[in-house]
C-alpha cells in the first residue's frame, strides 16, 4: 500500500513517518506541505492512502479531495475537532485529532488495512455522499442530478461522466454501467438507487433490471406482447417490458 503525507507542519509529518515505521507494508511515496502541491502529487503517484491535514495553505483538505477524479482512502489528521462530521461525510476512514499517540495511530491504520481485505464500506459511503457534496445549492423543490458518478476501481473511485453512460444493467445488489466507449464499471449502488440519482428526463427504466439513456436508443421493434426490443447505440439490443413500455412514449411519433 502506498501513501502520501499531506500536512503543512513538518513535525506532524515527522510523527506520521515515525509511526508508519511499524507498518512495513505501507510505503511513503511523498510528502506535501500545501493543498495545491498535494493535488499534483496525488495525481502523479495515485496513492492508496492519504494522511491529510484540513487547514493548509492553498487548499483545505476537503478542497483537495474535491479536485480529484480518483479518491484514495483518507485518514484526516488535524488539530480541530469541529471538522469530524464533515470528514466522515466525505468518506474518511478515520479522523486523528492532534496530538494523538502511537496507539491511536495504530488503530486508524489497522482500520485501513482491514478495509483492504473486507467489503469496502468506506468507499461505498463515499460513493453515496460524494455526488451530494458536489451538487450546487438549489431550492428544495428543484431536484438536481450529478454530472458524474463515482464508482469503485480497485482502492480508488473513478469519475464516470453521466453523459457517457448508455445503459445500466442490474448485477445482483449492484449495477453495471455501460459507457459510450464500451467500458463497464460496477457500481456499489443498485439499479433502483441509480434510477433515483439520474435525471429521469434523460434516463428511463425499461425493465426491472435495465435503465437506458433515451438518446442512446437507435431503433425500437415491437415484440408482439405490448413491449419492445430497443437497439442501442453500438448495436446492443435490450428488451423493454410491457409494464415499462409507456416510458418510451416521448420517442414515439
Phi first, then psi: give them for residue 194, nearest 5 degrees.
-65, -35
Instruction: Enumerate residues 6+ apart whose C-beta is below 8 A from 169.
Output: 175, 176, 178, 191, 209, 210
pLDDT of residue 221: 83
- CB distance 226 to 245 below 8 Å: yes
Angstrom distance (rounded) from CA 149 to CA 134: 11
With vertex at residue 74, the alpha carbon angle to CA 153 and CA 71, rounded to the nearest 5 degrees, is 35
Cut 0.75: pTM above it = no
Question: In angstroms, what CA-CA distances link 134 with 64, 144, 146, 184, 234?
Answer: 13, 11, 8, 23, 31
Q: What is the CATH number of domain 2-118?
A: 3.40.50.2300
With vertex at residue 30, the alpha carbon angle to CA 19 and CA 109, rounded to the nearest 5 degrees, is 35
pLDDT of residue 251: 62
Residue ranges, CATH 2.40.50.1020, the chain: 139-251
User: Which positions of the chain have pLDDT values less than 50?
Assistant: 118-123, 132-134, 138-140
Angstrom distance (rounded) from CA 198 to CA 253: 25
pLDDT of residue 19: 94
Residue ranges, CATH 3.40.50.2300, the chain: 2-118
CATH assignment of 139-251, among 3.40.50.300, 2.40.50.1020, 2.120.10.30, 3.40.50.720: 2.40.50.1020
- CB distance 26 to 3 below 8 Å: yes
pLDDT of residue 162: 92
Place of cell 486508524: 108
What is the dihedral sign for C-alpha 73, 19, 11, 80?
positive
pLDDT of residue 118: 46
Place of cell 447505440: 233
Amino acid at each position: 500500500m502506498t501513501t502520501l503525507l499531506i500536512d503543512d507542519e513538518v513535525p506532524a509529518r515527522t510523527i506520521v513517518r515515525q509511526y508508519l515505521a511499524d507498518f512495513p507494508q505501507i510505503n511513503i511515496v511523498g510528502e506535501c506541505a500545501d493543498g495545491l502541491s498535494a493535488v499534483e502529487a496525488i495525481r502523479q503517484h495515485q496513492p492508496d492512502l492519504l494522511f491529510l491535514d484540513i487547514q493548509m495553505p492553498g487548499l483545505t483538505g476537503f478542497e483537495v479531495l474535491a479536485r480529484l477524479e480518483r479518491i484514495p482512502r483518507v485518514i484526516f489528521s488535524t488539530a480541530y475537532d469541529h471538522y469530524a462530521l464533515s470528514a466522515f461525510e466525505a468518506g474518511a476512514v478515520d479522523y486523528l485529532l492532534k496530538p494523538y499517540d502511537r496507539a491511536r495511530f495504530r488503530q486508524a491504520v489497522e482500520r485501513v488495512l482491514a478495509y483492504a481485505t473486507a467489503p469496502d464500506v468506506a468507499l461505498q459511503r463515499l460513493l453515496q455522499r460524494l455526488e451530494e457534496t458536489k451538487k450546487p445549492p438549489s431550492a428544495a423543490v428543484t431536484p438536481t442530478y450529478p454530472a458524474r458518478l463515482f464508482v469503485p476501481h480497485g482502492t480508488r473511485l473513478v469519475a464516470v461522466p453521466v453523459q457517457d453512460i448508455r445503459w445500466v444493467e442490474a448485477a445482483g445488489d449492484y449495477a453495471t454501467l455501460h459507457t459510450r466507449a464500451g467500458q463497464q464499471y460496477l457500481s456499489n449502488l443498485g439499479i433502483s438507487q441509480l434510477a433515483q440519482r439520474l435525471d429521469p428526463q434523460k434516463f428511463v427504466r425499461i425493465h426491472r433490471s435495465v435503465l437506458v439513456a433515451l438518446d442512446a436508443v437507435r431503433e425500437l421493434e415491437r415484440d408482439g406482447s405490448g413491449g419492445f426490443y430497443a437497439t442501442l447505440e453500438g448495436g446492443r439490443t435490450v428488451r423493454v417490458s410491457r409494464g415499462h413500455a409507456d416510458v418510451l412514449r416521448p420517442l414515439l411519433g
